[in-house]
Chain A
Amino acid sequence: MSAILSIKDLKKSYASGQIALNGVSLDIERGEILALLGPNGAGKTTLISTVCGIVNPTSGSVTVDGHDIKADYRAARSLIGLVPQEVALEPFEKVRNTVRLSRGLFGRPRNDALIERILRRLSLWDKRDSRINELSGGMKRRVLIAKALSHEPRVLFLDEPTAGVDVELRKDMWDIVRELKAEGVTIILTTHYIEEAEAIADRVGVIARGEILLVEDKASLMTRMGKKQIDLQLADPLDSVPEALAGYDLAIRDGHTLVYTYDARGPRTGLTRLLNDLAAAELRLKDVQTRQSSLEEIFVDLVREDAQ
């Protein structure tokens, strides 16, 4: 696979002095789905906006399929579709007209059959002649997606596509994203929802305070996260791990809790043996709790570590 989008040392400081991007370098492979995770104000939207031409970068370079976004902006931009975070649509315009406008803006000849296909796929066909202000919030989001798809982009940016969207619509959107990927469209989505990244991304990137902290294959990330922990709260306090339990990956927390880390995906977790050995060592349990380190935890840890 080769990179379809290449970002090199991209920096952006706003007039207020705020540094939104602090040397971001990122290669996005052709046909992949990359999920960009990051807290509010991390620079996700600035990064997308800069690539799309809405924000002027302070320095650095971006190429889309080899076309520089400045020098060769026409070629670069014509490959990109953008679904913005904010629902920005002309309220009195009809759905079909606004989608047609988008296609026209990208220099594509009118193609009613294609627009119909897109609107049907997004369950908007029945609403094609409705005015935007008659649509629900979820429908408006679909219109934004229809507009972005209207010119058949090869790279699609989805800036928090499912923020404030109900579960059903979210699942719908994931399906659409998977279909687009199957057609070879490269997708970059930003999200707050870790489960979204888990559900559809091939790779996950974490961004905080304008810097990319990590970009990793989701599968390997998941393996790292496959570790589970069980908290065994004891009835009586404990100073150290008893000899009889030395063979386990155990730690003591707060003097009362034994924390056992194991691989939930492995063939053996060792849990049964551990519980038997605990009983044999006459340690009485007060409570038991299991925890899985999720993408969310890794993410939170990463961002916290970075902040320190």
Chain B
Amino acid sequence: MNLTAISAIYRYEMARFFRTLLQSFLSPVISTSLYFVVFGAAIGSRIDQVEGVSYGAFIVPGLVMLSVITQAISNASFGIYFPKFIGTTYELLSAPVSFLEIVTGYVGAAATKSLFIGVVILATSTLFVDMSVAHPLAMVAFLLLTCLSFALMGFIIGIWAKNFEQLQLVPLLIVTPLIFLGGSFYSVSMLPPIWQTIALFNPVLYLISGFRWAFFGLADVPVGVSLMAIALFTGLCMAVIWWIFRTGWRLRV
């Protein structure tokens, strides 16, 4: 294991994050505050409670997931797409590093960045609503797994993308709708029965449900299923990346 290489990639990627720390810190704080103004105050005042939890608090897990997922994807996809775009992947490919080491470095950094943003959002939320976490360990586990799995997905998107448009395509057209339709701002039980069934095909639902369970002890789907779903998703992403490096798809000619 080339640990030096992993740490070199990780530190190099994190250095880029620290160069824009203020930006990285301010944007989630501002967007979270806006969500609380819009959903918490304007809409929340009419909804009051969802399954015994105040609406303001109810949306916190969804909000965290929304940001963590989009940030993990964009950080990881950009992290590998940019070297591809400017041609510096030659160094990565000619270095004595395995795919696992490259992925650990890049995905680790992207996951760390999104974790940081998730924590910032959680902290910001406490300024707006009273919250308690029913299962802190499960909360941390879900958060970490989400950061990791979507950073892996972002890494795949970054390798797949041939231009900046494609880089935006999957997050915009697929991931964002899935997050919004995955119960970020509502409980699936509030949907008409047919949509409840359709919603079960949305993988993000399982994440948000499990994450919300960690906070309030209530879930749309059993927590074990949530955990299985995210483990399955992580495994799938790893398998795809393993195949990419094995074949050199879009990396080596």
Please list the residues of chain A having a beta carbon within 8 angstroms of any beta carbon in chain B: 14-15, 49, 52-56, 73-78, 80, 82, 84, 86, 88-92, 97, 100-109, 147
Contact = CB atoms under 8 A, between A and B. Distances in A.
Given A104-B5, A105-B9, A53 B94 contact: yes
Given A52-B90, A107-B2, 20 more contacts: A14-B253, A15-B253, A52-B93, A53-B252, A54-B90, A54-B252, A55-B252, A88-B88, A89-B86, A90-B83, A97-B15, A102-B91, A103-B8, A104-B7, A105-B95, A106-B5, A107-B4, A107-B97, A109-B4, A147-B91
A90 B96 contact: no
Contacts of A89: 86, 88
Question: Nearest 9 pairs between A and B by C-beta?
Answer: A104-B8, A88-B87, A105-B95, A74-B96, A52-B94, A77-B96, A78-B96, A107-B2, A107-B4
B216 to A, nearest CB: 43
Interface centre among A74, A77, A91, A105 (most CB of B within 10 A): A105
A107 B12 contact: no
A82 B94 CA distance: 8
A70 B158 CA distance: 25
A297 B175 CA distance: 61
Given A90-B88, A106-B96, A55 B12 contact: no
Interface of B: 2, 4-5, 7-9, 11-12, 15-16, 19, 82-83, 86-88, 90-98, 248, 252-253
A88 B86 contact: yes
Contacts of B90: 49, 52, 54, 82, 84, 88
Q: What is the predominant secondary structure among interface residues of chain B facing chain A?
A: helix
Nearest to B12: A101
Contacts of A56: 248, 252-253
B24 to A, nearest CB: 15
A73 B88 contact: no
Nearest to A159: B90
A106 B95 contact: yes
A100 B12 CA distance: 9
Given A14-B253, A77-B94, A147-B91, A108 B12 contact: no
B8 A105 contact: yes
Contacts of B19: 92
A20 to B, nearest CB: 9
A25 B97 CA distance: 27
Contacts of B11: 104
Contacts of B2: 74, 107
